Homo-oligomer: A and B are copies of this chain.
Amino acid sequence: MPSSASTAFRSGDYFHILTKHPQGQIFAQDAGLGFERAGGVVMIQIFTQGGRSQEDKQRLFAAVADKLATLGVAREDVFIGYVENGAGDWSFGLGRAQYVTGELSVPKK
């Protein structure tokens, strides 16, 4: 995750799971906003360490929609939910909580 929504991810710090869902098994309305989804929704859950500002989150949402647009995803189709945990809630490998052991420094917020 970027600490701001610049296009630069911190090198080596990228993680995803991508799943393709059959028509009908993924479904999103417009929440009353008055737009129509274009070709099917792309639902994104960003699961990351807490602490980013509301402004950073908004820049991130915009950057995600912008990036996906370059791949042909309509901006109407980008649905995002963001969920936070703490620094001590991550293990990047080896059974260690690297933010707690000090192997990784907690990102500045």
Contact = CB atoms under 8 A, between A and B. Distances in A.
Interface of A: 10-21, 24-33, 35, 37, 43, 45, 47, 54, 57-58, 61-66, 75-85, 88-98, 100, 103-104
A95 B66 contact: yes
A57 to B, nearest CB: 6
A81 B47 contact: yes
Contact of A75 (B47, B75, B93): B93
This chain's copy number in the assembly: 3
| Residue of A18, A61, A66, A91 with most partner-chain B CB within 10 A | A91
State the 4 A-B residue pairs at the shortest beta-carbon distance, nearest first. Answer: A65-B95, A82-B89, A62-B95, A80-B91
B78 A95 contact: yes
